[in-house]
Amino acid sequence: WTLDNWSQNPVIDRILRVDHAGEFGANRIYAGQMAVLGRSSVGPLIQQMWNQEKDHLKKFNELMVAYRVRPTVLLPFWNVAGFVLGAGSALLGKKGAMACTVAVEESISEHYNNQIRTLIEEDPEKYKELLQVIKQFRDDEQEHHDIGLEHDAEAAPAYSVLKTAIQLGCKVAIFLSERI
């Protein structure tokens, strides 16, 4: 038993806590979309993206333990909110689900880019593994974003309003999950 990995760094605590919460929320969003659209033509595509999110969450679960970071107290709320967002967007149809994916993944990609910059400023050698993980996950999220656009996200009803509202929700979720 050692404390070698123990972060003792509020920046790392904050990054791991919010990323764990984000991947948890993403899993719940895809679960909600699958509950509504799982048997439709877009079901396999949603499942494919969800499977990647499951891998992301598994990795952040491991990192939370390795760095001894507590999860956000808001996980029970994100559990419900994520599912409701996923199912709600899917009730608008395939385009609604894809609009949700584009909005969320764009927010997350931007968020991961900010974290990459922070870690490079902190100590790129010390946080090499974490940087690799975040860069890989950012690339995956960007791919999901692009898949959403390719599948008519922008043709969703009230796309810009929907996107703006979801991205505002993401910003609030990120702000809160970093802190509590």
Residues contributing to the annotated binding site: 23, 53, 56, 105, 141, 144
Binding residues for Fe cation: 23, 53, 56, 105, 141, 144
Alpha-carbon distance 63 to 38, whole Å? 30
- Tell me which residue has tokens 């390795």: 66
